[in-house]
């Protein structure tokens, strides 16, 4: 159960992401300033008791002062930076995948639904309900956001949803094996992570700043080979495949889970 200060910290981070996105939509916020606000939001999310499942206990058992000393120092040295990296990384990955009408909406909805299924098989009914509600809200928004869109998500939507999704994935147990539980996370969000990872490698290889936009994302390449609707539907299918693999990893014995994780990673990298 979250305390009042933990809840305030969580929703404070959400408000910062919503305000950052709104300002960026209106006034084109500098990329470095946007990144700074994302760090603040991620820090607040940590203080809400939301961290990567790498310690002996779960995040819900921690006090509101997660960063200040609830974790043993030896664990905090790697858990806090990795948790920050996950949160900020997912916020940016969701923001970057929002390049075609309906794409981010569907991919995020699939991820929420897959994560809800994972929590469901673990008996976390309340968390399952949250994921289903989020997925339902996105399904309701999708007809207005799919090409030709009448309502656009904008950065205010993508940054907030990325924040909520990053936090939601860390709210409950994913597997009894801690390493496999950690591997389930990137599989669960395979499409935005794969797209962001290839974008970072591509920009480093061309000696460009990682903040520089381009039209070589996965969805742009699919559009070049077909239609925009076809590209979006293809990536929905890929997202559903990643989500299904994550759910299977969560219910399989550890050995089979590791094999599935390895096979999924190989197929994804070759496809990318």
Over the stretch 92-146, which tens digit does the pLDDT of each residue have?
Answer: 999 888 878 888 999 999 999 999 999 999 889 999 999 999 999 999 999 998 8
pLDDT-derived band at 209 (thresholds 50, 70, 90) equals: low
Mean pLDDT of the chain: 84
8 burial type by CB count under 10 A (0-12 exposed, 13-18 middle, 19+ buried): middle
Q: Where do the domains of the chain lie? A: 4-271
pLDDT-derived band at 244 (thresholds 50, 70, 90) equals: very high
């Amino acid at each position: 159960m979250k305390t009042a200060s933990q809840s305030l910290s969580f929703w404070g981070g959400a408000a910062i992401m919503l305000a950052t996105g709104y300002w960026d939509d209106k006034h084109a916020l500098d990329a470095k300033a946007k990144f700074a606000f994302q760090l603040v939001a991620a820090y607040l999310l940590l203080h809400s008791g939301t961290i990567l499942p790498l310690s002996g206990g779960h995040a819900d058992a921690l006090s509101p002062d997660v960063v200040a000393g609830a974790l043993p120092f030896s664990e905090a040295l790697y858990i806090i930076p990795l948790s920050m990296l996950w949160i900020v990384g997912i916020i940016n990955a969701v923001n970057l995948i929002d390049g075609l009408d309906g794409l981010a909406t569907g991919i995020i909805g699939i991820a929420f639904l897959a994560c809800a299924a994972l929590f469901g098989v673990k008996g976390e009914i309340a968390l399952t309900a949250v994921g289903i509600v989020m997925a339902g809200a996105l399904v309701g928004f999708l007809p207005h956001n799919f090409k030709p869109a009448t309502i656009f998500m904008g950065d205010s939507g993508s940054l907030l949803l990325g924040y909520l999704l990053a936090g939601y994935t860390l709210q409950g147990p994913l597997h009894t094996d801690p390493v496999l539980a950690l591997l389930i996370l990137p599989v669960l969000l395979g499409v935005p992570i794969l797209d962001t990872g290839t974008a970072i490698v591509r920009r480093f290889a061309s000696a460009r700043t990682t903040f520089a936009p381009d039209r070589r994302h996965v969805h742009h390449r699919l559009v070049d080979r077909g239609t925009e609707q076809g590209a979006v539907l293809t990536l929905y299918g890929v997202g559903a495949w990643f989500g299904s693999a994550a759910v299977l990893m969560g219910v399989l014995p550890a050995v089979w889970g590791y094999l599935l994780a390895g096979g999924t990673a190989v197929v994804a990298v070759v496809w990318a």
